[in-house]
């Protein structure tokens, strides 16, 4: 059981690679535009999003839109 706990702790602590952004400066805008086009939202839309690591080591991520 101790070996399983050690392995699980190592997996949870491991930093996993995160896919990088698409090329270009406006990758977020281009992604939003694609989503809006797919939804037929001709009038547009707004999206606020972020991801940070807190001083406690936890990650905080949010999305409004």
Q: Given phi > 0 = left and psi -120 to 50 = alpha, else beta, which region is 57?
A: left
Buried b or exposed e, range 4-18, using 16+ CB within 10 angstroms: eeeeeeeeeeeeeee
What pLDDT sits at residue 24? 78
Query: Residue 12 has what pLDDT?
Result: 83
Residues of the chain with pLDDT under 50: none
The pLDDT score that the predictor gives to residue 50 is 93
Task: Tell me how far apart the alpha carbons of residues 33 and 42 are, in angstroms, rounded to a whole number.
Answer: 10
């Amino acid at each position: 059981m101790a070996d399983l706990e050690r392995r699980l702790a190592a997996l949870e602590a491991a930093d996993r690679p995160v896919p990088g952004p698409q090329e270009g400066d406006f990758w977020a805008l281009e992604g939003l535009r694609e989503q809006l086009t797919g939804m037929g939202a001709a009038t547009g839309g707004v999206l606020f999003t972020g991801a940070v690591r807190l001083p406690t080591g936890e990650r905080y991520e949010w999305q409004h839109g």
